[in-house]
Structure 1
Amino acid sequence: MNEQASKLVLALDIGTTSVKALLIDRLGQMKGRVSIGYPLNIPRPDMAEQDPDTIYEAVATAVHRLLQETGTPATDLLCVSLSSAMHSLIVVDAEHRPLTGSIIWADQRAVEQADRLNADGTGLAIYRRTGVPIHPMTPLTKLLWLREHRPDLMLPGYSYVDIKAYVLQRLFGRSVMDYSIAGSTGLFNLHELDWDGGVLELLGLSAAQLPELVPTDHVMVGLQPGEATKLGLLPDTPFVVGASDGVLANLGAGVMNTDRVAVSIGTSSAVRTVVPEPLLDEQGKLFCYALTKGNWVVGAPSNNGGIVLRWLVEQLFADELGSGEGDPYERLLELAQQAPAGANGLIFLPMLTGERAPYWKADTRAMYFGLSLSHGKAHMVRAALEGVMAQIASIVQLLEGLHVQPREVWASGGFTQSVFGCQLMADMLGLPVCVPQLIESSGLGAAMLGYAAMGKPMQAPSAEAAASQTRYLPDPARHAHYRKLLELHARVYEGIKDSFHDVIALQAEDTANLMGVLK
């Protein structure tokens, strides 16, 4: 093997809770891993921000530490390739100093702006040009909120970037954004591969106030010397701009056509597949993001995945699961298995943090429906888990409405460590569920993109993964039962959706009254 072919890619995955730096060789094997966490700031219940400089320092530390711990000389790197969480927004001044925190996807302050766009049809028109459902998570609605509530942050000399563009600005003195991340902002016209003129007019912005747009395989060279030293890299180390973590997860998992869908369940969850050209649905409920030329990722996220399990452990069963031996989450899943499929008619809508897909309403809330004296703790836990899977199944049904007919599911995330969880997913979806034995898929996808951008394509991992995957087949009887359950879930939601706003208003009133008493 020649010297160039033996070099490594350093994949840098900038996530919501941590940055992960991975060393990956051309065979897809991980040679080292470092993770550096950082805090989430919640100034008030509907806000979620992070400090961009803290994240940058974590990036620099992770890269430097990875090279030191693995004993890898900087000369052994073919490139650094980036992955990043979507939907972040940072306002920077003319000197590129941050004027706000990094407002992340979980921030809900722009509910009113999103509802207004959706109510008058403007949102659907924007969706048809941008491929992004209108929701408070998007930088589009966050910018509308800033224009209305913080006009001092919407001045001609200011710029609006995401966390990856901010990091690249620190490294290269140049602000760029790849088509994938841009596609998640609500400001990017997916048909023209450019900032959307109509959206810019709506926001009162110019294209000069946004990062330069580049393909995901764009290569940057020329690190600022001080930053190169800080990271332990050579100034001429190539950086591949990369893409969002979601689309790279599909690449890393080998889910690159509509025969498969990728389902990831972490704190939240998402369903994605890959199509050869932009694909939109009439209701504006599925996203469509660019990956590489001829590869577009279509799907949708749900707010509620593992966070539902955490709520059960911490709020409902803290006394009995918080003490004693064994992992409390494993014990929770064992409890769920004591109830039958369908939880004896108990329904749980899992919208503890509002919801994106399939409903795209930030003001939804969770509820149990059908609770009776015959239901115990096991039924409540099983109904909650089935509610999470029902949201995922509803997203798959949205894809099937676009004539996407997957034959199998490739699953990832903490949920896949449970045999019961994987079988529940197979039974709910009526599809085989495969759990490949892969390293972190977003980081692997970033490495694959990096090798390809440098002209040294790495073999897709799907063939090797297929040999080592665990496969779960759906039970026909349970699937038939769950099809009825899915219909009931949808009817329950439709019956109560108009009441959520009133519930939230009461919660706000109670909070205000409590604060008045405390004063």
Structure 2
Amino acid sequence: MDYVIGMDIGTTSTKAVLYNLAGNVIDYTNHSYELYRDATGMAEQEPEEILEAVTASLKKVIASINWQNDKLRTVSFSSANQSLIALDENFQPLTRIITWGDTRAAAAATKIKNSAQGQDLYERTGTPIHPMSSLCKISWLKEDVPEVYNKAAYYCGIKEYVLYRLFGIWQMDVSVASCTGMYNIFELQWDDKALAQTGVSKEQLPKVVDAYEQFSGMKEEYTKITGCPQDVTFVQGAFDGALSNLGVNAIDDGVAAVTIGTSGAIRMVSDHPVIDPKGRIFCYALTKELWVIGGPVNNGGTVFSWAKDNLFDAEKSTADLLAKDSYDLLTEIAAQVPAGSDGLLFHPFLGGERAPIWDANARGSFFGLTQMHTRAHMVRAVLEGIVYNLYTVLLALEEVLGQPQSILATGGFARSELWRQMLSDVFERPVTIPQAFESSCLGAAVVGMKSIGVIDDLAEVKNFVGETETYAPNPDHFDVYRELVPIYIRLTRQLKTEYQTIAEFQRKYAQKDSASD
């Protein structure tokens, strides 16, 4: 038997899936790690913890291979995008991994966005000006953390750091590069204007390669840890969002993929770069021939976790909660409330927001709360707020690429019957749930298979996705959602003027509390 492995180095865990060449899952593992947060907007990870998770994940699935009869054809990588780590001249970390969710570069982002070149930078790089991007993170280090910036000889993201440690190579795939805000998506090279903004040279950044780039020769210390032979071919891969689209076969014109895990996104694929004149959506590479256009949201599963931990703490000790998954119980509670939560709206901006408002200062809120509303109303409003926000991203995407003919939904939320139906009802169109398991890992594996010649075209992913299930919208809910969504959008615009004020208040008192400690 011949095998391939797709590995996804994610925000909260590293996953590895062992597939046979028919795309069937043979083995799977998931190693989690800490995401370190505080009130300043910090969202960091320890590089060593992630490296250990990668090697442990590889070791676990490789153990299923019988080396006498089986062959591992390739290992291909997916990773979270828009992480940044500063390194010294010896490639030693000067920082932890500053993740996409870190908002400390908010002031730097605002300054760049409001400058004369802000829109031009977006149109050259396809990356909205936001604290998530390496462009803004490095600008923040330059202004506010000069002791790190002045020592930094190199910058990269988590995938590049892991590959450097495992193989001694210094390269970044075009997909991840296109997410940095420093890569010109039309010229396919590091952008001179973006580099000038950060004060970073091309020599401080990895060499940019295609998703199909092959390499081998893992360092001996890691072959001993993982059990992976040195002659196994590894493939660079791409960032997780692009590979998730590929992994559910959402790479054709007119197909949109909605993903909600820790965060969320809606994405479509084009054969050429597409820029939004209003700057609401991104344009990133999957490969040099395929471009992913869409919008990411910060607030997906993390918001539901917040609701579980803070709105329903008392239920944690009940027999019902002990007898079943807490998320399933909460969705059952939410299902008892009618569509629209009896007029209770929730803006899910607990971690600022990316698309479509691109405001790191955005904050969450309930609106319309009355004495008749219960915690069940609140948890349904939380779920609906997440979907309303995704719908506003879809509206922006439709302005640029037109209405999608079909919508595929994946991620942790896709297991919920209530959420699937809610998505279909708010979007007013059928939503299809692919059976594909760990879509980013499958997407990585398919890129790997094309790289080594097992398949001729990425479109062959359709043979690996498996069965699908489609949810039809319920017309009985249309009137309610058609009334509430415009209110939700108008409120977002009206509250925008106060987001910065309340965010500055929160940061000020967080710093005072930190100083007193």
TM-score, normalised by the number of residues in structure 1: 0.94
Structure 1 residue runs without a partner (length 5+): 1-5
CA distance in 1: counterparts of 2:133 and 2:428, whole angstroms: 32
Distance 1:437 1:123 in 2: 41
Alpha-carbon distance between aligned partners in 1 of 2:210 and 2:296, rounded to the nearest angstrom: 23
CA contact (8 A) 1:135 1:360 kept: yes
For 2:439 and 2:415, how far apart are their aligned partners in 1? 15
- Give the drift of 1:292: 2.2
The 1:175–1:434 alpha-carbon spacing in structure 2 relative to 1, beyond 3 Å, is: same
State the shift of 1:405 in Å.
1.5
Secondary structure of the equivalent of 1:94? coil
Partner of 2:56: 61
Residue number in structure 2 paired with 1:113: 108
Single out whichever of 343-352 and 438-447 deviates more from structure 2: 343-352
Measure, in 1, the Cα distance between the counterparts of 2:151 and 2:262: 37
The counterpart of 2:364, out of the listed 363, 366, 389, is 366
Q: Which residue of 2 aligns with 1:393?
A: 391
Q: What is the one-letter code of the residue matched to 2:131?
A: P
**Could you give the per-residue CA deviations for residues 210-245 of structure 1, whole angstroms, max 9, x where no partner exists?**
000001111113333333333322222211100001
Counterpart for residue 379 of structure 1: 377
Match of 1:460 in 2: 460
Which residues in structure 2 correspond to 1:441-456 (within 5 Å)?
Answer: 441-456=439-454
In structure 1, distance between residues paired with 2:510 and 2:48 = 33
1:115-130 alignment, distance < 5 Å: 115-130=110-125
Per-residue CA distance 1:79-115 (angstroms, 9 max, x = gap): 1111111111111122211111111111111000011
Alpha carbons of 1:336 and 1:28: their partners in 2 closer, same or farther (altered >3 Å)?
same
Other-structure match for 1:404: 402
What is the CA-CA distance between 1:133 and the residue it aligns to? 0.7
Letter in 2 for 1:474: P
1:492 aligned partner, one-letter code:
L
Contact 1:46–1:108 under 8 Å retained in 2: yes
Q: Distance in 2 between the 1:513 and 1:109 partners?
A: 16
Per-residue displacement from partner, 1:99-154 (whole Å, max 9, x unpaired)?
11111111111000011111224322111000011111111111001111222333
Of the three residues 419, 423, 426, the one matched with 2:424 is: 426
1:184 maps to what in 2?
A: 179
Structure 2 stretches lacking a partner, 5+ long: none
Q: Give, in whole Å, the separation in 1 of the partners of 2:63 and 2:372.
A: 59
1:299-350 deviation per Cα after TM superposition (whole angstroms, max 9, x unaligned): 1111111222212221112113553222222222122222222222221111
Which secondary structure does the structure 1 equivalent of 2:256 belong to? strand
* Alignment CA distance shift 1:286-1:73 (3 Å): farther
Matches within 5 A, 1:299-310: 299-310=294-305
Q: Aligned partners of 2:206 and 2:504: how far apart in 1?
A: 38
Say if 1:237 and 1:464 are closer, same or farther in 2 by CA, change over 3 A: closer
Q: Where do residues 91-490 of structure 1 align in structure 2 (5 Å cutoff)?
A: 91-155=86-150, 158-325=153-320, 326-457=324-455, 460-462=460-462, 465=465, 468-490=467-489
- 1:3 aligned residue: none
Q: Distance in 1 between matches of 2:130 and 2:428?
A: 30
| Counterpart Cα distance in 2 of 1:393 and 1:256 | 20
1:156–1:337 distance in 2 versus 1, CA, 3 Å:
closer
Where does residue 79 of structure 2 map in the other structure? 84
Shift of 1:363: 0.5
**Partners in 1 of 2:96 and 2:151 — Cα distance?**
19
8 Å CA contact 1:426, 1:473 repeated in 2: yes
| CA RMSD in angstroms, aligned pairs only | 2.0
Contact 2:44–2:96 under 8 Å retained in 1: yes
State the AA in 2 paired with 1:462: K
Bigger shift: residues 218-227 or 86-95: 218-227
Contact 1:260 1:409 in 2 (8 A): yes
- Partner of 2:63, secondary structure, is helix
* Aligned partners of 1:322 and 1:328 also within 8 Å: no
Does the CA-based 8 Å contact 2:86-2:152 persist in structure 1?
no
Mapped contact 1:248–1:442 kept (Cα < 8 A)? yes
Q: Is this contact kept in 2: 1:75–1:234, CA < 8 A?
A: no
CA shift in 2, pair 1:311/1:226, >3 Å: closer
Cα 1:18–1:330, aligned 2, differ >3 Å: closer, same or farther?
Answer: same
CA 1:42/1:367 → structure 2, altered by over 3 Å: closer, same or farther?
Answer: closer
Q: 1:324 to 1:215 in 2, by over 3 A?
A: same
Residue 507 of structure 1: aligned partner: 506
1:156 and 1:209 in contact (8 A); partners too: no
Contact 1:159–1:210 at 8 Å: present in 2 too? yes
What is the distance in 2 between the residues matched to 1:507 and 1:95? 38
Shift of 1:477: 4.0
Q: Counterpart of 1:402 in 2: which secondary structure? A: helix
Q: 1:156 & 1:328 partners in 2: Cα distance? A: 46
Secondary structure, aligned partner of 1:421: helix
Identity of aligned residues (%): 39
Q: SS where residue 247 of structure 1 aligns?
A: helix
SS at 1:320 equivalent: helix
* CA distance, structure 1, for counterparts of residue 221 and residue 336 of structure 2: 59
* Local SS of the residue matching 1:453: helix
C-alpha spacing 1:266/1:184, structure 2 compared with 1 (3 Å): same
- Partner of 2:75, secondary structure, is strand
Call closer, same or farther: CA 1:412–1:154 in 2, change over 3 Å: same
Q: 2:317, 2:405 → 1: CA distance?
A: 40
Q: How many residues align?
A: 512
Q: 2:18 aligns with which of 17, 23, 40?
A: 23
Worse-matched range after superposition: 174-183 or 164-173: 164-173
CA distance in 1, matches of 2:69, 2:199: 44
- Residue identity matched to 1:395: V
Q: Which amino acid aligns with 2:47?
A: P
Residues 173, 53 of structure 1: CA spacing in aligned structure 2 closer, same or farther, 3 A cutoff?
same
Cα separation, partners in 2 of 1:240 and 1:511, compared to 1, 3 Å: closer
In the alignment, is the contact (CA less than 8 A) between 2:6 and 2:18 conserved in 1? yes
1:494 aligned residue = 493
Amino acid at match of 1:54: E
Deviation string 1:374-421 (CA, Å, 9 cap, x unpaired) is 323332222221111001111111111013221221111121122111
Distance 1:51 1:403, change over 3 A: closer
> CA contact under 8 A between 1:84 and 1:244: conserved in structure 2?
yes
Residue identity in the other structure for 2:143: E
The alignment's TM-score, normalised by the length of structure 2, stands at 0.94
1:220 and 1:197 mapped to 2: Cα distance? 29
Give 1:288's aligned amino acid: C
2:254, 2:406 within 8 Å by CA — same for their partners in 1?
yes
